[in-house]
Amino acid sequence: MTDVLGNALNFRYALLLPEIVIALTAVAILFLDAFKAEFKVGYRALPLLAVAGLLGAGALSLVWVNETDEFSRLITVDNFTTFFRMLFIGTTVIVIVGSHEYIEKHVNHHGEFYALLLLSTVGAIYMAAARDLLTAYLSVEVLSFSLYVAVSLAKNDLRSGEAALKYVLLGGVASAMLLYGLSLIYGVTGSTQYTEMAAALSASDGSTDMALMLGLVLVIGGLGFKASAVPFHMWTPDAYEGAPIPVTAYLSATSKAATFALILRWFAGPLYPVAEDWRWMMSTLAVATMVVGNLVALQQTNLKRFLAYSSIAQVGYMLMAVAGMGPETASALLVHLGGYLVTNLAVFTGVIHFYNRTGKEGIADLKGLAETNPYLALVLTAGLFSLAGMPLLAGFFTKFILFQAVVEADYLWLVVVGVVASTISLYYYLMVIKQMYLYEPVGDTTRWRISPTGYLTTGALLAAVVVLGIWGTPLYRVSHEAALALFAAG
């Protein structure tokens, strides 16, 4: 079959098998939840089915390592796609396994919750895999609408509904901004296909078209909202605080990683020929995001709002790599993204189990945790130190690689701002650690344990944070291969 231009279309549905498996698993979960009485199954069957479907999809994804193919000029399957397939699938598995006790106690509509996580994972993967603007935009909406609903699922918590309302209203504005920007860029290039857009922009006479410039501003603004970049970040602390903690963890991991996957596809591909028109925008966003994220985090008292501003600051570091876009900076960004996801999930999983025990989420509520649960205090400490970039932990290795690549891209001044911002961040991370180790516990002082699945997830994440800090070569290699595929496709 061919398209209107006579180009052959490849309808190899085998390329889409991982996402088909995930989507069918989501449907099966909804069906099983609706007829659980008839099938005589408990709620534990739902997370087990979700994890089984994700692991099956992950195994299928490995078939495409070092392979490059496309589906109907809409989806590209290469090492970049495979990298994010495994990243998103792994993230969702960790969130489900590490939080199913929380879900049973604090979330309405369990079946819908797991189905939404799986469907949003499909949207996130296609954001990384799309090679057409409309496919990418539809993928953004699949992810966004799934998360709008998931944020509202907290049981008996009015903040959840309020957070979802703010998220969906501001998200609608951001989506409209993004779509209008894409329409302007389409008007300039005459195509929605990445390769054809790149060819059209490369063939221009070098002058900046006003429609193109306005389109770039709107696209960066829309993506800035999805990534929580300043000044488009105002939804983030409210959504993080009001959402169920597992959804907050998912927002801070998959939502951000998917946005940067899309940013890399666009700004290393079709928009790369006009890089000089958008590098200054990304530099400005990076500085504003690092400064505001770190300074406002100093004032937080709620753990989820604290981690929201911490994640905003981390976005600023990642935007530095986008400003200096090139094969090496893209590879370094993927390295840092992998380390950030592992570290952030370790912290959030620890917070989930702390909340399961205490029902509290204030920073001051962590007082004496080193006495009542020294293992959980260790996990949180390692995660926070890693976010700060302390040596021998994943955050130090990945941030060092990132900063080095940005310096080599001639953005030394951005790295100076990043180093100062990282120094500020160490202070507020230490303030949280201080609560756990330098104060006596308040109230119940008995030792307590987390669940077996809690030990499994936190143990795996803690080990990953330490191992990546000492031996990050495997992550660097797969990130480098993914970046090479990105620029080969661009």
Q: To 10 degrees, what angle do helices 79-106 and 473-489 make?
A: 120
Number of H helices, E strands in the chain: 21, 2
Domain assignment present for 5: no
Q: What is the number of residues in the chain?
A: 490
Residue 95 tokens read as 């969130």
Q: pTM of the predicted model, to two decimals? A: 0.94
Q: How far apart are CA 305 and CA 315, in angstroms?
A: 15
Share of residues in the chain with pLDDT > 70 (%): 97
Residue 213 tokens read as 């410039």
| 8 Å CB contact between 135 and 98 | no
Tally of domains in the chain: 1
Cross-strand pairs, 70: 76
Backbone angles phi, psi at 373, to 5 degrees: -150, 80
Backbone angles phi, psi at 108, to 5 degrees: -80, 150
- For residue 454, the one-letter residue type is G
Q: Is 77 exposed, middle or buried (0-12, 13-18, 19+ CB in 10 A)?
A: buried
* Burial 106-123, CB ≥16 within 10 A → b, else e: bbebbbbbbbbbbbbbbb
Specify the range with the lowest mean pLDDT, choosing from 2-11, 140-149, 407-416: 2-11
| 8 Å CB contact between 239 and 309 | no
Q: What is the mean pLDDT of residues 32-50?
A: 82
| pLDDT at 7 > cutoff 60 | no
Domain assignment present for 387: yes
pLDDT attached to residue 479: 93
pLDDT attached to residue 132: 92
Q: How far apart are CA 266 and CA 285, in angstroms?
A: 17
Contacting residues for 35 by C-beta, under 8 A, at least 6 apart? none
pLDDT attached to residue 432: 93
Domain assignment present for 42: yes
Average pLDDT, the chain: 90
Domain assignment present for 2: no
Of the pLDDT bands very low, low, confident and very high (cuts 50, 70, 90), residue 111 is: confident
| 8 Å CB contact between 326 and 409 | yes
Residue 79 tokens read as 């090492």
CA dihedral 168, 173, 174, 180 (to 10 degrees): 140
Of the pLDDT bands very low, low, confident and very high (cuts 50, 70, 90), residue 208 is: low
Specify the range with the lowest mean pLDDT, choosing from 103-112, 375-384, 387-396: 103-112
pLDDT attached to residue 3: 56
Q: To 10 degrees, what angle do helices 452-470 and 79-106 make?
A: 150
- Token pair 């390692």 is found at 382
Domain assignment present for 336: yes
pLDDT attached to residue 45: 87
Which tens digits make up the pLDDT trace of 227-268? 999 888 888 898 898 889 999 999 999 999 999 999 999 999
Of the pLDDT bands very low, low, confident and very high (cuts 50, 70, 90), residue 205 is: low
DSSP letters along 53-93, please?
A: HHHHHHHHHGGGTT--EEETTTEEESHHHHHHHHHHHHHHH
Of the pLDDT bands very low, low, confident and very high (cuts 50, 70, 90), residue 288 is: very high
Q: How far apart are CA 304 and CA 313, in angstroms?
A: 14
Alpha helix ranges (H) inside 107-209: 110-129, 133-151, 158-189, 194-202
Q: What is the mean pLDDT of residues 345-354?
A: 94
3-state SS, residue 302? strand
Question: Which residues form the domain of 248?
Answer: 13-489
Q: What is the mean pLDDT of residues 451-479?
A: 92
Q: What is the mean pLDDT of residues 107-119?
A: 89
pLDDT attached to residue 1: 54
pLDDT attached to residue 472: 87
Q: What is the mean pLDDT of residues 191-195?
A: 90
pLDDT attached to residue 346: 95
Domain assignment present for 110: yes
Q: How far apart are the first and last CA of the chain?
A: 24
Q: How far apart are CA 410 and CA 16, in angstroms?
A: 39
Residue 291 tokens read as 């400064």
Residue 446 region, left (φ>0) first, then alpha (ψ -120 to 50), else beta? beta
Domain assignment present for 4: no
Domain assignment present for 8: no
Which tens digits make up the pLDDT trace of 49-74? 999 999 999 999 999 888 888 888 88
Q: How far apart are CA 87 and CA 52, in angstroms?
A: 16
Please choose, from the candidates 85, 122, 103, 88, the residue with its C-alpha nearest in 3D space to the C-alpha of residue 48: 103
